[in-house]
Amino acid sequence: MPGGKLINYLYFLIITSISIFTISRFFLPNQVINSDELRTQLTKEFFDAERYEDSDSTGIVVEYKITAEPASLTLFGNTPTDVYAYNRTVPGPIIRVRKGDTLKVDFTNNLSESTTIHWHGVRVPNSMDGVPGITQDSIAPGETFTYEFTLKDTGTYWFHPHQNTAEQVERGLYGVLIVEEPLEMTYDNDVVWVLDDWRLTQDNQIDDNFNTMHDLMHDGRWGQIITINSKEAEGISASPGSKVLLRLVNTANGRVFRLDFGSLETTLVGLDGQYTNTPTSAQGVELSPGSRAEVVITIPPLGKSQHTITDTFTNNTYVLGAINVSGEPAEGGSDHYYNNYKVPKWENAHTFPPDKVYNLNARRGGEYGIEWTINDMAYPNYDPLELKYGEFNKIAFVNESARLHPMHLHGQFFKVISRNGKKVDEPYFRDTVLLGPRETVEIGLVPLDKGKWMNHCHILEHAEAGMMTIIEVR
Ligand code: C2O
Ligand code: CU
C-alpha cells in the first residue's frame, strides 16, 4: 500500500471510531445522559411508596394553651435556676396527638422579648412555620398567636422559638410533639428523653454570654452539664421481657450525642420522626442538634438487672441514664409501631449533578466578629433557590470548614444520597443531616409543601451568625 493511501486509511479508522464512540454514548443504557428521564423515574419511585397517601383528617381538634415566660426552677441541687419556659416547665409540655388530628395552640408571649414557635420537622402550612419576618410577624411581649394545623405524619417532633434562637432555646424554651398512629400503642413503656446540656455559672444560673467568639469558632455552645428531661440522672423502670419505646430528642444548641446501649437489644424504628423501612440496631445512633430517634429496647427476659445508656460522641464518655429491670416478667408488647414504610432506594440518584450546591464556610466580620456563610452569604443575605413542587430535586452541601454543621430543612424531609461522592442508602428520611469537617453530602427530596422554607445549620450559634438560607417550593 502506498504511503498516502495508508495515511488516508488510518484517518478513516480514527474518525469512524471517534464517531462510533460519540454516538454510542447516547444509546448506552447505563450511561446517565438524560437526567430528565432519571428525575422522572426518581419522582415516580417516591410516589409509588405507600407512605405518601396523606391520612384523612380525624376531625378531632386538640386544643392547647402555651405561654412562654420567665420562671425559676429547682433543677440542680438546691439553688434554683432562672429559665425561660413553656408553661413553667423545662422541657415544656409533651403534646400527644394522633395522625390526622388538628392541633390548635393558643400561644401567649409573656417574655420581655419577641418570639415565635417553630414546629421542628412537622409538615405544617407555611404560615404556621414560625419564622419571623418570613412566615409570620414576630409575636411581641404580651401578644398572642394561634397555631393550627393537621398532622400529616406520625413520629416524634419538637418545637422551639425561631427568634433570638440560640439564647431562647438555651434558656429553656422547647417542648415535644408526639404524633401517634391512629391505632392503639402496645408498648409496655413509651418514654421521652429530651437531651440537653447547660453551661451554668457557680450559682446555678445559665451563663448569659450567648453567641461568644469561642462558641462561634467552634461547634456552638456546649455546656458542662448534660441532662435528660432537665435531670442529671434519669432512670426507667421496666419489667423483664418488656418492650420500651424510647423517644430521644436532642434540643442542645451545639452538642452531638452518640448513643451506646451496652448489651441491650435495640431496634431503631424511626429517625427524625420518619419510620425506617428496615429496622436496624440503634447502637451508635448519632443525634445532632434538632434530631430525634425512636428506639425500641427489648428488656432481657430474666431477673433483675441494671443497664446504662451512655454518650460516646466525645472522648469523655458520659452516662446519660439507666434502665432498672425488676418485678414480674411482662407478656411482651407487639412491634406494630413500625409499619415498614417504603423509603425509595433512589438507586441512580448519585449519578447526576446536584441542582444546587451550597458551600458552607466562615469568615471574619458581622455582628459577632465571625460570620458563618452559605455560598459566601450570611443571612439575612442569601442565595435564593426555587424547588419544583412534587419533583425529585438534589442538593449538595459542601463543608469547606473544619467544624460540624447539622443542616436542617424546614417543612420537608429528605434522604441522604451520597457522602464524599460515595453512594449512601439509609433506610429512612431525615430533616437534619450532620456534616463532618470538609465533608460533602448530597440529599434528595420531593417537596410536598409549598412556601418559603428555612434551610440552616442547627448549631444555633452558627445559624445566628448567618448560616441560614431560604428554599422556596412552588
Ligand atoms: Cu429546629 Cu429552623 O429549626
Ligand atoms: Cu454549623
Model confidence, pTM: 0.91
240 Cα to the center of ligand 2, angstroms: 42
The set of residues, in sequence order, having a beta carbon less than 8 Å from that of 152 and lying 6+ positions away, is 54, 55, 99, 123
| Residues belonging to the chain | 474
| Atom 3 of ligand 1: nearest residue by CA position | 120
Say how far apart CA 78 and CA 439 lie, in whole Å: 44
In this prediction, residue 278 carries a pLDDT of: 87
In this prediction, residue 25 carries a pLDDT of: 46
In this prediction, residue 32 carries a pLDDT of: 46
* Least distant ligand from the CA of 218: 2
Model confidence over 159-211: pLDDT tens digits?
999 999 999 999 999 999 999 887 655 677 899 999 999 999 999 999 999 99
In this prediction, residue 337 carries a pLDDT of: 54
Q: Which residues line ligand 1 (CB under 6 A)?
A: 118, 120, 160, 162, 290, 408, 410, 454, 456, 458
Index of the ligand 1 atom closest to the CA of residue 463: 2
Nearest by Cα to 202 from 79, 44, 356:
79
* Least distant ligand from the CA of 462: 2
In this prediction, residue 28 carries a pLDDT of: 44
In this prediction, residue 27 carries a pLDDT of: 46
52 Cα to the center of ligand 1, angstroms: 24
Nearest by Cα to 288 from 191, 151, 416, 114:
416
In this prediction, residue 424 carries a pLDDT of: 96
In this prediction, residue 4 carries a pLDDT of: 60
In this prediction, residue 342 carries a pLDDT of: 78
Model confidence over 17-44: pLDDT tens digits?
555 545 544 444 444 457 889 999 999 9
| pLDDT under 50: residue ranges of the chain | 1, 21, 24-32
Cell of 399: 463543608
217 Cα to the center of ligand 2, angstroms: 10
**Sheet with 451-457, edge to edge strand ranges:** 385-387, 468-473, 451-457, 405-409, 432-435
452 Cα to the center of ligand 1, angstroms: 14
